[in-house]
Amino acid sequence: MRIAAIVAATFGLMLAGLALAEPAAGADLTVGITPEIGSVTVETEEGPMEIRRNQEENHVLSGEFAKTSRACPPFCIRPMALGGGVTTIGELELIAMLQEPEMAVVDSRMPDLHIAGSIPGAVNLPYFEMGERLTELGCEPDFDGWDCAAAKKVALFCNGPWCGQSPAAIRVMLDAGYPGDRIYWYRGGMQAWHMLGLTVTGAGG
């Protein structure tokens, strides 16, 4: 309960700071992110990029992310909580994390999917490479595997509540000794991000 309270308080402060930091951003937009936040600007590998919602109020999803059904297994609905101290988050918490330079947001999907369209500011660290690339998240190799005492706070996502790529990456991290209370899981993934009409990089934007 104490950890949950600390996490809630931390994200409450982050979201409050987000609202105060850019109170006028996108104020003229019909479809805002929240009543107080029209849009936010995040740093990406290509430079600053604005995240906003699609302004066409009659817009509907099409293509892969409009699909409701995929064969299970392997595309089964994931639980809300992964365990191991990992915190499940939503879009507002993820947007707040994108505003924090010391935090990492990781797209754990295949590289071609990341290139086709991702969340602005996310870096691609595919789930099948996680075990070899933990140094990018602040871990150091040691004789027993990994020392993750200085690991970053990181949020991971993949294609949606039915996608197993980010849960697989998180299992690798936990097995390597990554502190669970520094891992956040955006369960909704790209499907929920698209559903809310939020900005997407690449050809998916």
| 27-46 residue pLDDT tens | 689 999 999 999 999 999 88
Domain count, the chain: 1
What is the per-residue pLDDT across 108-163, written as a single tens digit (0 to 9) for each? 999 999 999 999 999 999 999 999 999 999 999 998 899 999 999 999 999 999 99
| Amino acid in the structure at residue 99 | Q
pLDDT for 9 beyond 60: no
Q: How many CB atoms lie within 10 A of CB 193?
A: 24
Tell me if 128 is assigned to some domain. yes
Q: What is the pLDDT of residue 7?
A: 47
| Amino acid in the structure at residue 4 | A
For residues 126 and 140, give the distance between their C-alpha atoms in angstroms, rounded to a whole number.
19
Residue 141 sits in a domain of what CATH number?
3.40.250.10
| Dihedral angle sign, alpha carbons of residues 116, 67, 200, 100 | negative
Q: How far is CA 37 from CA 57, 96, 163, 180, 194, in A?
A: 18, 12, 29, 30, 18
Tell me if 133 is assigned to some domain. yes
Tell me if 144 is assigned to some domain. yes
pTM: 0.87
Tell me if 12 is assigned to some domain. no
Domain span at 95 = 53-204
